[in-house]
Structure 1
Amino acid sequence: MPIAEVILIAVFAIVPLAFALLSLSRAYRSAGWPTATGTMTRSRVQVFSPLTNGSKVSSRWMMEIEYRYQVGGKAYTGWRVHFGSAPGLAFSRRLVARFPLHSSVAVRHHPDQPALSVLLPGASGYAWSSLLLSPAFALVGEIVYQIVSRAV
């Protein structure tokens, strides 16, 4: 196997797989993390102007979630709602409705790294989706390699 192919497989498959496994591991462990009371400091879905894509019109959007909490007298700011890939627009709107601005929230935080926190602990479908997409990244890496190797 040529070195270029090995590098592309590493970049497109192994690295995303490693991040997906780390995220899934943290998701499972977060269910047992200590809880602190926090306050929502940002909670909105920002929708940008529609983009015309041929005959379809689509919007770009971004979910903005931020909460503050304290552990051992030290203040922290978190942004993670759950572990895993980003949810779609409809689910993001439901999350924002579930965690309104200035509301009190239960924040799960890592016992040794309190800055690592999450609002919805445990492994959801979003945590698994990152792992399941890793083979697709490997396929993309192989396709890129085949295209590049033919062009040379």
Structure 2
Amino acid sequence: MVKSKPVMHKAGHLFSFVLGVIFVIGGFLATYLKGLPLIEQGKASKNWPTTKGVVLKSKVASHRSSNSNSSTYSAEITYRYQVEGQNYKCGTVWFGSDVSTSNRSLAQDTVKKYPVDKQVVVYYDPQKPAAAVLEPGVFKTTYFYYVFGWLFMGPGILMTGIPLFRWLVRVGRGTDERGENVAGKF
């Protein structure tokens, strides 16, 4: 049984709207729950107190997608440090260093910079000493989740905003989707 064009048209609009809502929610989560806090931590870390630490683990990690022949790489660095007699371990080199890229040399350079047993200066959050970083500040990869989130949220806003705007205009005019006056139909 073939559905009529108006029914299929409405179904297409509904699908587009629901997909837009999903994009907005996903983009919002990436932007404001992951990306923005990373940027704020990066900026704040420049003023954090420091302590001495030592690198415990340093290796290049390879990540291969199950549906792709390409790999991405990241540096896995773990270091130990102490704040007020309490021992901590952390793996953050800089805020955004956990982003995997196809550029293996970035991960290799980071591993070379922080070999096992190297003494390091650790910048730690005075309110939450378990949050620490070896390189304070904001870097290109710090913005990854923020930009990625907006790349999802932008189209989502268009996919939901345009139909909502059209609906509000129709309601304001008192017309239905075909432009017919709805006043007095009820």
Gaps of 5+ in 2: 1-12, 161-186
Secondary structure at the aligned position of 1:113 is classed as: coil
Question: Which structure has the higher relative contact order (CA within 8 Å, separation 6+)?
Answer: 1
Secondary structure at the aligned position of 1:133 is classed as: helix
Distance in 2 between residues matched to 1:77 and 1:144, nearest whole Å: 44
Which residue identity does 1:86 align to in structure 2? V
Which structure shows the higher strand fraction?
A: 1
Structure 1 residue aligned with 2:25: 11
- Whether 1:90 and 2:98 are equivalent positions in the alignment is no
Give the Å deviation of 1:64.
1.6
Which residue identity does 2:99 align to in structure 1? A
> If the length of structure 1 is used for normalisation, what is the TM-score?
0.78
1:35–1:106 CA contact under 8 A, matched in 2:
yes
2:43–2:137 CA contact under 8 A, matched in 1:
yes
What whole-Å deviation, never above 9, does each CA across 1:9-63 have from its counterpart, x for those lacking one? 44321111112111100000001001010000000113478x895xxx5335442
Question: Which residue among 51, 75, 82 is the counterpart of 2:87?
Answer: 75
Secondary structure at the aligned position of 2:136 is classed as: coil
Give the Å deviation of 1:4.
3.8
- Whether 1:133 and 2:145 are equivalent positions in the alignment is no
Distance 1:23-1:52 versus aligned 2 partners, 3 A rule: closer
Secondary structure at the aligned position of 1:21 is classed as: helix
The CA RMSD measured in Å over matched residues stands at 3.1
2:73–2:100 CA contact under 8 A, matched in 1:
no
Distance in 2 between residues matched to 1:108 and 1:83, nearest whole Å: 12
Gaps of 5+ in 1: 146-152
Aligned residues: 142
Give the Å deviation of 1:5.
5.2
Distance 1:73-1:26 versus aligned 2 partners, 3 A rule: same
Structure 2 residue aligned with 1:121: 136
Distance in 2 between residues matched to 1:41 and 1:140, nearest whole Å: 43
Distance in 2 between residues matched to 1:52 and 1:130, nearest whole Å: 23
> If the length of structure 2 is used for normalisation, what is the TM-score?
0.65
Give the Å deviation of 1:142.
7.2
Structure 1 residue aligned with 2:77: 65
Larger radius of gyration: 2
Distance in 1 between residues matched to 2:22 and 2:80, nearest whole Å: 40
Distance in 1 between residues matched to 2:127 and 2:85, nearest whole Å: 15
